[in-house]
Structures are given as structure tokens and as C-alpha cells.
Amino acid sequence: MELWQQMVRDSVHSVDQLVDKFGLDRKVAEDLDEFFQARINPYYLNLIRYPGDPIWLQCVPDKQELNDLDGFEDPLKEDEMSPVPNITHRYPDRALFLTTSQCGMYCRFCTRKRKVGDSEKISMKQLESAFKYLEAHTEIRDVILSGGDPLMLTDVMLEKIIKRLRTIPHIEIIRIGSKMPCVLPQRITPKLVEMLKKYHPIYVNTHFNHPWEITPESTKACEMLVNAGVVVGNQSVLMKGVNDNAEVMRELLIKLLKIRVKPYYLFMADETKGATHFRTSIDTGMEIIYKLRGHISGLAIPHFVIDAPGGGGKIPILPQYVLHRDEDRIVMRNYKNEVFVYRDVKESKDLGNKIPVEISDKKNGDTKSPKNFKDITEIKMTEFISSNN
Ligand code: SF4
């Protein structure tokens, strides 16, 4: 057994451990165990500095999870967009391929907690129909291995999957969505990176949320991947008490760049059942981005997005930089709140006026007739229903 596998085995996971280590009431611990089990491996456990700190919040079960009346089991409607088991096909040329239900740690904010940890719901037995789907759909050029965490598979099993994907000519990019570099960096072994580098282009999207997660161990893990030619990006989730202020986010993003990990996305927290206590306001997110852009390198700034409820996909959100636009000019503010005017030019094709926009929020997913983008301002917001799903 490899070290990382032993560390998974040594995780805090039982009701007794939750009661003893974190002082949870036994009945609450039992209910939480039933709702979404705990798994806190010794490496991540050691990152906790004090009760309730940003590391604790991400991994220690909390009774607030049980009182959540607002969240949804599957806020992104991944299951409805699943043509065959283990595949979610939402975007034209990309597909999500769920390869395991297991993770190196179970994050309390997980969007997929309806499936994670349950091998019946993400079953290895169904991989063949997923491969067949990917082979038949020639429009798919980018496959994202996810789960659970694909790096919970053994090297042999992971290589079998990647090797098979590499036999499909239209699949150009293979991405691995893995939190292991952050939560169990011991998983990134010389053997693993030697295997991965045979199948380039391989991308890894990892998931750091707080600067304390950047340790000598996680730094080494990311560097091993990058040194093997893997492009490593980071996705963070904005969470109350974890990273919902500009200073923390700034430190995280700068440290990520230093370990050669490109900040890729910052997500607003999904409306997931049992995780809505992590949600912050959109204003908080926009203020953080406004305080960062211009103040630190653009390389460090992630796309700030909402993964649209109901399966609409990732939609970028920007602070209001454009103050006015007409036929001749655009009026904008910069990162210092100074105002500038940029004169527009007329183009024979005038593409800007003809970009079709599907207004798609009438009932989270219903579409309205295409409009050109200048018509957006004419839409009466009262006609839209804001309720979800
Ligand atoms: S590693 Fe990812 S899939 Fe697993 S529990 Fe954490 S967020 Fe969910």
C-alpha cells in the first residue's frame, strides 16, 4: 500500500472520532454521518490551527448542514444532463466523466455530496457505456475526469482510463479535476507523474481555497506535476469564513502563482443542500475581484463565475467597469475608480450589434427569443421569475 492510501485509511471518519476530536454532540454526529460522511486525512487534519478556522470549516461536519431548507440536492442539474451513467454533457465540445465516488477528503461544501462517497452512484462497472458515448460523440474534444477525485484511483486504473481516451481521435484534451494536490499532496508521486506525462496534453485543475493550504508538501506536489509538463490550474469557491475577504484571496492567488498554479476560476458557492451556510453575497465576491484587479498581476486573477442553477453553465460576473455605452463611445472606470472614455469605430459588419443573446432565466432554463445585446436593457426584470429549479 502506498503512503497516500494508508493516509486515507487513517482518516477521521467515525461518529466516535467526531465526538472525541471535535466535541460534536453524538446525535448530531450520527445525523451528519448519515447525511454526508466525514473523511479527514491526517495531512489535512494537521493544517487546522484552531477550532472553527478556515481549514476546520472545510472539513469538520457542522450541524448547520442539517438545518438547510434552501439548498438543492443537485443544484447544477448534472444528473439531468447525463446521457449515460458517469457522463455529464453540458457544453458543446466538453464532457465530464465521473470515474470514482471516492475523495482524499470529503469537503463539507461539496456540490456533489449526493453522490460522493457512494460507489453505487458513481460506479466503475458503468465505465464502458461512458467510453462508448465519448467515442460516438465526435464533437467532444475535451474530457474532464472528475468524481469524486480521479486521483483516488490507482495509477494502473487511471492509466487504463487515460489510455482508452487516447485511442479516441477527437479527444484532444484530457483534464483531471483533483483536490489531491491540496488535501493529500502525498498522492502526487514520481510514478504518477511519469505515467501522466506519456499522455499529454494533460491538464490538472486543482482546488485550493485558502493560503494555509499552500504548504511545502502541496508546493512539491504542484511542482512535480508542472515539471512533468502538466498544466495546473486552480478553482476556488468563495466561502463565508474561509476566504471571503480580499486580503485572504490576494494571498492565496499570489501564492498559487508562485507554485506555478494558474488561478482559473473563483466560483460563487452553489446552492447545495447542506452547504448553503457557506454562501456569501454576490457583492462580496464582486468587491473582492474589484479590490484585486489592477492591484495584483492579471495572471493571478481568476474568472469570477456563477455556475448557473439549473445547469446553465458558468457565467462570468464582473464588477461594473462599464459606466455608459452608446454608438460612439464607451465610458469606463479603472481599478482606481478613475473614469475614461474610449471612442468606438464603425465597422461594416458591426458585429457587436448582432450578437444574438438567448435570455434564459424565465424559469431557470426556459429560453426567450434571441435578442441583440443592446435589447437587454429593454427587458423588464419583473417578468423573470427568480425562484430556482
Ligand atoms: S474533493 Fe471535490 S468531489 Fe470530493 S468532496 Fe471535495 S469538493 Fe467534493
Residues 172 and 30 in one domain: no
Average pLDDT, the chain: 89
Q: Which distant-in-sequence residues (6+ apart) come within 8 Å of 376 by Cβ?
A: 357, 359
Identify any residues that bridge with 203 across adjacent strands, giving them in sequence order: 175, 231
The range of the structural domain enclosing residue 7 comes to 3-64
Residues 236 and 287 in one domain: yes
- Which of 354 and 269 is assigned the larger pLDDT? 269
Which CATH number goes with the domain that contains 220? Answer: 3.20.20.70
64: its cell numbers: 448547520
pTM: 0.89
For residue 375, the one-letter residue type is D
> At which of 291, 316, 341 does a domain end?
316
Residues 141 and 276 in one domain: yes
> At which of 264, 288, 316 does a domain end?
316
Q: What is the pLDDT of residues 177-229, one digit of tens each?
A: 999 999 999 999 999 999 999 999 999 999 999 999 999 999 999 999 999 99
> At which of 281, 316, 351 does a domain end?
316
- Which of 203 and 311 is assigned the larger pLDDT? 203
Number of domains in the chain: 3
Question: Which of 110, 115, 118, 273 for mutating ligand 1's site (highest number of atoms within 8 Å of CB)?
Answer: 110
205 in a structural domain: yes
Pairing of strands 262-268, 303-308: parallel
Cis peptide before 148 (omega within 30 of 0): yes
As a residue count, the chain comes to 389
Q: Please state, in angstroms and rounded to a whole number, the distance separating the CA atoms of residues 196 and 181.
A: 15
pLDDT at 367 over 70: no
389 in a structural domain: no
Q: Please state, in angstroms and rounded to a whole number, the distance separating the CA atoms of residues 110 and 76.
A: 12
242 in a structural domain: yes
**Active-site option among 62, 74, 149, 307:** 307
47 in a structural domain: yes
| Number of CB atoms found within 10 A of residue 225's CB | 26
Q: Is 386 exposed, middle or buried (0-12, 13-18, 19+ CB in 10 A)?
A: exposed
Q: Please state, in angstroms and rounded to a whole number, the distance separating the CA atoms of residues 191 and 180.
A: 15
Residues 14 and 116 in one domain: no
Q: Please state, in angstroms and rounded to a whole number, the distance separating the CA atoms of residues 333 and 349.
A: 28
| Ligand 1 proximity of 78 Cβ (cutoff 6 Å) | no
pLDDT at 307 over 60: yes
Mean pLDDT (whole number) for 87-116: 93
Q: Please state, in angstroms and rounded to a whole number, the distance separating the CA atoms of residues 74 and 363.
A: 17
Residues 367 and 228 in one domain: no
| Ligand 1 proximity of 148 Cβ (cutoff 6 Å) | yes
Of ligand 1's atoms, which has the minimum distance to the CA of residue 147? 3
Of ligand 1's atoms, which has the minimum distance to the CA of residue 148? 3
| φ, ψ at 243 (rounded to 5°) | -150, 25
